[in-house]
Structure 1
């Protein structure tokens, strides 16, 4: 490492209240770092993701980002996209176009837009969809230890750079009660190329959000992700495909069983054929990271 230190922020994403969202480590000016060095830092932060800000190689982009879990690099992920944008702007850097950003990442160029009250949203990247074979439905029921899966909305693998198996349950209470067999779930998720399960279900009319969401990871290590942009983008796309959209806007709550209170805002822009997934971010740590 030629640098002795870099600027560093830890950002809580999908919340405006510290410690209630999903934390992200952001390392600035990371151009001199190798992929192995980035991976070592990501293992050390021990967060679900760590992002590294670099100079863009595409003149259309405001910045380039590489995103690492503790185990490997991702071409795209939602909460790192929003958290990195927040850190980039908070550091005093200006977007090329007011209230718009273009992120360059492994999945290509991702557009971001500023919404109301300072919240930012990303345009959901294109996704590949692979319905779960009906022969696996009983196995999924057993792996989730529930009879509350709504199979009228076919469970489907959705890969937008971060692959999830999306399953709809009959109620928010059923989502919150899930206690899964991770070994069995891994086999089922692997069958559609997914790295975990995104379970969702509607709340009652007067509930805290439109949907309750939980994301249970398999391929990158068993455990629950607090609040997940890519999975919520996958859910939004599948809702549209299955004609189950609850209007042009809705809100998802995630992280409840982990003591978090994440809020994800989804908007369908039918004129442009885009889905926007966003939320607030707040910085909890701001300083430098010693490299050597």
Structure 2
């Protein structure tokens, strides 16, 4: 056991403490998979990352991403939070203004613009329309009428997201899912445009729900991976044009802002990053 640098980073907030926090353990060499999982369970945040020397050519650092129960190949706000912590520790990327971060899904490029960071959306592992049975199951869990769904698609870039487009942001904010325990897992993202009354400059309202036997319903405050794959789907299908700004976390008392831009065929997902806690952990 030794002392390792520990930071907690607020990601995607419109200001400090309004986004989604991630715990970052720098200098994680020597920790076993079980030790990383135990620490991630103990922090009790949606994700905890562990920074290691890269093993892939061209990578500046290697981030392993854990939820309280499992390791993920990729997640958006941990990617940006890890890059911010790595930079705060005095590291410099090989390419100025761009951190190349290794994760389970491969190499992810992170652009640096002051406190704002943005990652290149990774390829989806699954896309296309869900079956009517899959969509009906999602609508039942979310307590959304089938006739309220404007469009739906698999937008899975790791967790297993199914995206549902509704007609108006007010309906997204009013969504109250069925929280009764069930054995099957579900990862659902709902999104809708702001027709009126939304904050200036915000085009979309987003919410992310995870259903699990151990946690019947859980809402993520601000979700980079979901916003990335939603952006790919919605821009490709013509529902929206980048650049645009999405809001998430409203129903939870957060105020997340996710910027989406398109550049040379790639979707970039970004927001503000703020180091909220600096210290060390004994591990």
User: Which of 266, 269, 289 does residue 281 from structure 2 map onto?
Assistant: 289
User: Which of 241, 257, 265 does residue 259 from structure 2 map onto?
Assistant: 265
Decide whether aligned partners of structure 1 residues 184 and 135 sit closer, same or farther in structure 2, where only a CA change above 3 A counts.
Answer: farther
**Does the 8 A contact of 1:140 with 1:185 survive in 2?**
no
Matches within 5 A, 1:195-206: 195-204=186-195
Aligned-pair CA distance for 1:136: 3.9
Q: Aligned partners of 1:234, 1:149: CA distance in 2, in Å? A: 23
SS at match of 2:30: coil
Q: Which residue of 1 aligns with 2:250?
A: 256
**Does the 8 A contact of 2:29 with 2:52 survive in 1?**
yes
**Does the 8 A contact of 1:15 with 1:263 survive in 2?**
yes
Matches within 5 A, 1:213-224: 213-219=206-212, 221=215, 222-224=217-219
Aligned residues: 278
> Is residue 230 of structure 1 aligned with residue 225 of structure 2?
yes
User: Which of 156, 160, 163 does residue 163 from structure 1 map onto?
Assistant: 160
Aligned-pair CA distance for 1:147: 2.9
SS at match of 1:179: coil
SS at match of 1:126: coil
Q: Aligned partners of 2:268, 2:5: CA distance in 1, in Å? A: 29
**Does the 8 A contact of 2:150 with 2:167 survive in 1?**
no
Aligned-pair CA distance for 1:4: 1.8
Q: Deviations over 1:101-140 (max 9, x none)?
A: 111010001111124x531100000002142112344443
Aligned-pair CA distance for 1:207: 2.2
Which stretches in structure 1 are left out of the alignment for 5+ residues?
none
Give the stretch that moved more between structures: 133-142 or 104-113. Answer: 133-142
Q: Deviations over 1:36-57 (max 9, x none)?
A: 0000000000000000000001
TM-score (norm 2): 0.92
Q: Which residue of 1 aligns with 2:272?
A: 280
Q: Aligned partners of 1:123, 1:149: CA distance in 2, in Å? A: 34
Which stretches in structure 2 are left out of the alignment for 5+ residues?
none
SS at match of 1:277: strand
Aligned-pair CA distance for 1:205: 5.5
Q: Deviations over 1:54-111 (max 9, x none)?
A: 0001130000000000000000000000000111111111111110111101000111
Matches within 5 A, 1:1-292: 3-15=1-13, 17-115=15-113, 117-127=114-124, 128-147=126-145, 150-153=148-151, 155-183=152-180, 187=184, 195-204=186-195, 207-208=198-199, 209-219=202-212, 221=215, 222-245=217-240, 247-269=241-263, 272-291=264-283
**Does the 8 A contact of 1:11 with 1:281 survive in 2?**
yes
SS at match of 2:127: strand
SS at match of 2:78: helix
SS at match of 1:113: strand
SS at match of 1:60: coil
